[in-house]
Structure 1
């Protein structure tokens, strides 16, 4: 059901995308190999809690992690956190490892790291399902804010 919701949202967005399907993977390198892309083109969708019932999606390329000081400065907040798995599912409709802004149960704001470019692979609502999209189209479709909010892992 989650995969269908994500793909329907991608279709409604009007951007060009190609769905890739593969078995479960246990690492970034495995995901990249299964999708036929470099690890840096695999986009992780992270859910971040700003406050009470206030979340956002942060899109992070493979091999990078959120820089909390950069993200806090961008958003003008002092504290942020990552919700536990149950809360992340409650606020997005997706379980960890499948989260995507496309088809989420709430349209939380999206921040896309400024290092993301070219063709990228973003999760599509189920384990082993992803969408290949152009990064600029992704930003436009999501109405995302672009800012450098990551650092190398």
Structure 2
């Protein structure tokens, strides 16, 4: 919530000093990065996620994010389901990615090291990928077959 308030304060300053077209462009760039989170569940574990639906949001992913709270992550949506590869360019923290098929079942978890360009691919077509802090899936005892539940 504080990031949204900060964005609104910044927007007010920008609107006061710059042209309308510049301000609209400025907000278009910032709003996807500060979108409000949604709560989803993996089995009984609640997760606050930012959702990456568009290609632009998916390409940006968690680039530049230096910290995620304990149950915070990013959910990538792929419809129709397809095989997907992820990478960690410009992501300064280690992450795990869980790949979920079109039935919402976890089919694989991959560990991804920060600031690398190695690809981490789903073994089969998926509908969702969930990026979380490194070790989160193991800590929560979430293995293949765990269920993703959207609100």
Larger Rg: 2
Q: TM-score, normalised by structure 2?
A: 0.28
Q: TM-score, normalised by structure 1?
A: 0.28
